[in-house]
Structure 1
Amino acid sequence: MTTTLLLEIFAGFFTAFIALWMLALNRPTATAAVPVREEESVIAASPGAAITANARRGLQSYLLREGRLANIGLLILRLAIGAMMIHHGQDKLGDPQSFADNYVVPLHLPFPLFLAYVAGYSEILGSWLLILGLLSPLGALALTGTMTVAAYHHILTSGLNIYVLELVVLYLGGSLALLLLGPGRYSFDAGIVAGLVDDSVDPAAQSPSTSATASSYDLVPEAS
């Protein structure tokens, strides 16, 4: 058993542990509906508050989606694509000159050897970002970019050959789906955003009626 294989096995067990840990910490919780007070609607009507609320809702819908099965499905998709794409990146970096000659030069792109290194590192780093769910949109974008170029290369050199395109299309479709849908709750991104959303809530803004009531009591003159 080689050192590289031992490191890959260790990385697999470590990734599985992290995934289970995120699974336990970021379980979806049901939120009760809270009636909106008139004062809160006035505060939310301001442009700055509306932009902040829209950004918060966008982050929640992208990273903090509800549904246990949906989040487990996204986790499985991240782990499957990331674990398999790592090997493609390692193969490219194992012999970058050969990859440049066979895949980059036919596309007539400049600096083929440099682009070979870019493709290899993009697949390795992008795969790890997807596996851990850390900066996952960047990881999904990196894999989507490399698979798009790979699909173009196969079509250019072999035409619409299904046996050549099927694996590339599967990787391209999976990484593009993760880019559009997000990594799900069981990711580091979801844990970070959940903390930021909770910290961004201003307790004073949540109960303006209480402060208004207190100030109205302060304005009442004492009886002589």
Structure 2
Amino acid sequence: MSTLQLLEGLGGFTAACLALWFLRLNRSDLEAARSGALPPAPGPLTTLVLRPAVRNGLQRYLLGRGVFADAGLLILRVAIGLMMIHHGQDKLADPQAFADTYVASLHLPFPLVLAWVAGLSEVVGSWLLILGLLTPLGALAIAGTMGVAAYHHILTAGLNIYVLELVVLYLGGSLALLLLGPGRVSFDGAIAAELVKAPLPPTQAASLPTSLAASGGA
């Protein structure tokens, strides 16, 4: 295993630990509220999620699908992430060669810098998709690099389906994940499921239907 792959694994593990730590910081407020004790001042994430519009948006984007849909999104995330990550590794292995071969032909400024950006976007974006952590950012990172790749292929080879097919599949899959979300089987889904259990303030709970207010708006 190369040093780069070890660093990638460490980065993915660190991101997952940070997500769990951030969730734990906010969970203490939820546990105190449920026990009837006076909770401390809520964390910033809990405060944001207490807004009905944000709560409803999280439920629809991350929690509003069935088991089969969540399983399908998991398969799509992992498949795109595992297959895309080696493209980023190849770019980072020799960024100068990628800059000379691809970026320079697009006449973009700072080709070496953009080569590093493309490689890191694909590696980091792949990890975010695999973990389902900050999934929209990961999907945007991959969609951005694939959009530029599609433009490069059209510029150099025209509308050649055999050249474009792989790029279009990655681009379409990442855009689909951006619009659909990662599903429940993800760090984003687990965090959202915990956060939406936070009890609503009385003024907000009174404006909701009885069934929603009783469940904390979840």
Q: Same fold (TM over 0.5)?
A: yes
1:175 aligns to 2:174 (yes or no): yes
Tell me which residue corresponds to 2:102.
Answer: 103
Alignment length (residue pairs): 168
DSSP-derived class of the 1:199 partner: coil
- The percent of aligned pairs where both chains have the same amino acid is 68
Tell me which residue corresponds to 2:153.
Answer: 154
CA contact (8 A) 1:65 1:71 kept: no
Q: For residues 102 and 162 of structure 1, what CA distance do their matches in structure 2 show?
A: 21
- What letter is aligned with 1:4? S
DSSP-derived class of the 1:174 partner: helix
Gaps of 5+ in 2: 17-49, 208-218
Displacement over 6 Å in runs of 4+: none
Tell me which residue corresponds to 1:4.
Answer: 2
Distance 1:205 1:141, change over 3 A: closer
1:98-126 deviation per Cα after TM superposition (whole angstroms, max 9, x unaligned): 10011101111000000000000000000
Gaps of 5+ in 1: 19-50, 209-224
Distance 1:196 1:135, change over 3 A: same
Tell me which residue corresponds to 1:129.
Answer: 128
Alignment of 1:51-90 (within 5 A): 52-90=51-89
Distance 1:121 1:132, change over 3 A: same
- What letter is aligned with 2:70? N
Distance 1:188 1:108, change over 3 A: same
Q: For residues 110 and 95 of structure 1, what CA distance do their matches in structure 2 show?
A: 18
> How does the TM-score come out when normalised to structure 1?
0.69
DSSP-derived class of the 2:117 partner: helix
- What letter is aligned with 2:75? I
- What letter is aligned with 1:126? G
- What letter is aligned with 1:132? L
1:196 shift after superposition: 1.6
DSSP-derived class of the 1:198 partner: coil
Tell me which residue corresponds to 1:144.
Answer: 143
> How does the TM-score come out when normalised to structure 2?
0.71
1:199 shift after superposition: 1.4
Q: For residues 99 and 206 of structure 2, what CA distance do their matches in structure 1 show?
A: 62
